[in-house]
């Protein structure tokens, strides 16, 4: 389970996004841009583990009706300030995803870099919970670190690169030890149909470092 995720992410909140964007060598901003093409005006979209919320704000600016939850009150404060500064409205709540009870199901649920906060035992319960937030036919959008792909050097790059980051977050108690996640398989096991699976590399021929998966709730 995520241990102390709220307080630790509170401390990271002010610099979290700048740090991860830079560390991802451009992969995360590009993944967010691609993901945004799935968000259409008028859609009701829930961001789970919203963090500072730049992706959620971009969705609102595209005309989506945005809600967001996060265990970290500081993350929600930062996201709320950003929405206010941009003149956008959203329903943002500092609440554990396991305690959140939406009034109505959503058209899309987005979980970016949330699943890596949970170990193999807890992840299926998180996905099951997000399944419950979606209407039938709704879309589950996930971007995360995924698993190593490709040749031996490419897989070694994944392990070294994410090993550095996850050692830091593991010491802080907010992620398990180097989670290796088969995101598409996790969605299929939860009952989703996988509609798209994208791989993000720092350069055209570089190793896959991040993945995005799109699931549809049949
Ligand atoms: C790695 S950050 C990702 C933030 C954001 N989605 C992004 O893409 O930058 C993970 C976020 O999930 C939140 N989180 C962890 N466990 C949670 C839970 N049980 N309920 C709600 N939010 C949670 C953390 O507080 C943190 O803000």
Q: Is the CB of 57 under 6 A from ligand 1?
A: no
To 10 degrees, the CA torsion angle through 182, 188, 194, 198? Answer: 0
Q: Residues 6 or more apart from 200 whose CB is under 8 A from it?
A: 27, 28, 30, 31, 143, 208, 209, 210, 211, 212
Q: How confident is the model at residue 13, as a pLDDT?
A: 87
Those residues of the chain that have pLDDT short of 70 are: 1-6
Give this prediction's pTM. 0.96
Ligand 1 atom with least separation from CA of 72: 25
Q: How confident is the model at residue 3, as a pLDDT?
A: 46
Q: Is the CB of 31 under 6 A from ligand 1?
A: no
**CA nearest ligand 1 atom 19, residue:** 96
Q: Is the CB of 142 under 6 A from ligand 1?
A: no
**Domains of the chain, first to last:** 5-216 (3.40.50.150)
Q: How confident is the model at residue 5, as a pLDDT?
A: 64
**CA nearest ligand 1 atom 13, residue:** 49
Q: How confident is the model at residue 96, as a pLDDT?
A: 96
| CA–CA separation, 67 and 77 (whole Å) | 14
């Amino acid at each position: 389970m995520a241990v102390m995720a709220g307080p630790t992410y509170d401390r990271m909140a002010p610099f979290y996004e700048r740090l991860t964007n830079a560390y991802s060598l451009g992969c995360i901003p590009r993944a967010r841009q691609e993901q945004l093409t799935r968000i259409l005006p008028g859609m009701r979209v829930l961001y789970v583990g919203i963090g500072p919320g730049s992706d959620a704000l971009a969705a609102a600016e595209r005309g989506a009706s945005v809600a967001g939850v996060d265990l970290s009150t500081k993350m929600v404060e930062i996201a709320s300030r950003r929405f206010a500064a941009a003149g956008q409205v959203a329903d943002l709540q500092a609440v554990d995803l396991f305690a959140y009870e939406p009034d109505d199901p959503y058209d899309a649920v987005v979980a970016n870099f949330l699943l890596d906060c949970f170990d193999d035992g807890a992840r299926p319960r998180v996905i099951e919970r997000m399944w419950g937030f979606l209407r039938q036919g709704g879309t589950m959008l996930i971007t995360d670190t995924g698993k190593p792909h490709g040749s031996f050097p490419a897989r070694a790059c994944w392990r070294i690169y994410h090993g550095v980051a996850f050692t830091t977050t593991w010491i802080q108690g907010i992620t398990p030890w180097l989670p290796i996640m088969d995101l598409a398989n996790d969605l299929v096991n939860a009952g989703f149909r996988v509609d798209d699976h994208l791989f993000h590399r720092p350069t055209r021929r570089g190793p896959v470092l991040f993945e995005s998966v799109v699931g549809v709730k049949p």
